[in-house]
Structure 1
C-alpha cells in the first residue's frame, strides 16, 4: 500500500530531505516573485492632483458625477482636485461612481 520505508531512521531521513527541498522551492518562488514584480509595469500618478471629482451640469447647477485619476481625459471640464482620502470617501461613502476607464477605485485599493 505505502512505498515509504517501514523503519523510523529512514523515515526521519526522508522527512529531513523533504524539509530541505521545500525550503529550496520556497526560496525559488520568492526569487521568481521578486523578479516578476520588478518587470510588472507601474502606473505613475500624474503631476498635480492624483484624483479629481468630475461635475456635470443639471438645471444649471453642478452635480458631482464621478471620480477620476488626475490625468483621465474623460473627466468633465468642471472638476475639483481631491486628496487620496477624499477620493476614497467619495467612492465608498459619497455614492459617487468611479470612472470605468481610468479605474480610480483600483488605484485606491477599493474592492467591489
Structure 2
C-alpha cells in the first residue's frame, strides 16, 4: 500500500471538514427546533398556582414575616405549607404580617 501525497491528505482533510461542518449545522438546526418546541410547551402550561402561605425573608435570608397569598410577592417570599406557616408562627418566632393577618386565618392567635 502506497502512502498518499501531501496534496491528497490535504484534500481529504478539507473534505472531512466540510462533512463535519454540515453535521454541525444540522445539529444546530435540531437544537433550535427543540428549543422552539420547549418554548411553545412552556407557553401552553398554566402558570404555577400561588401558594396559600408565604415566608418573607429579610436581610441575610432571615425569616421576616408569614403572609397569606393576598400578600404574595415572588421576589421576596417563598411558598410554604400550612404546617410550615403554623410552625413558624408558633415555634419559630416569625411574626405574622399585620396586613394580611395569617395568624387569624390559621387560627393561631397569641
Q: Which one has the bigger strand percentage?
A: 1
Question: Match of 2:94?
Answer: 96
Structure 1 residue matching 2:85: 3-state secondary structure: helix
- Over 3 Å counting, the alpha-carbon distance change for 1:48 and 1:76 in structure 2 is closer
Cα deviation code 1:60-101 (max 9, x no counterpart): x2111000002316x583211110010000000000000001
Q: Which one has the bigger helix percentage?
A: 2
Q: Is the Cα–Cα contact under 8 Å of residues 56 and 76 in structure 1 kept in the other structure? A: no
Question: Match of 1:68?
Answer: 67
Distance 2:62 2:74 in 1: 11
Moved over 6 A (4+): none
Question: Match of 2:4?
Answer: none
Question: Match of 2:41?
Answer: none
Q: Is the Cα–Cα contact under 8 Å of residues 54 and 77 in structure 1 kept in the other structure? A: no
Q: Could you tell me which runs of 5 or more consecutive residues in structure 2 were left unpaired when the two chains were aligned.
A: 1-48
Structure 2 residue matching 1:71: 3-state secondary structure: helix
Shift of 1:111: 1.9
**How many residues are aligned here?**
62
Q: Could you tell me which runs of 5 or more consecutive residues in structure 1 were left unpaired when the two chains were aligned.
A: 1-46
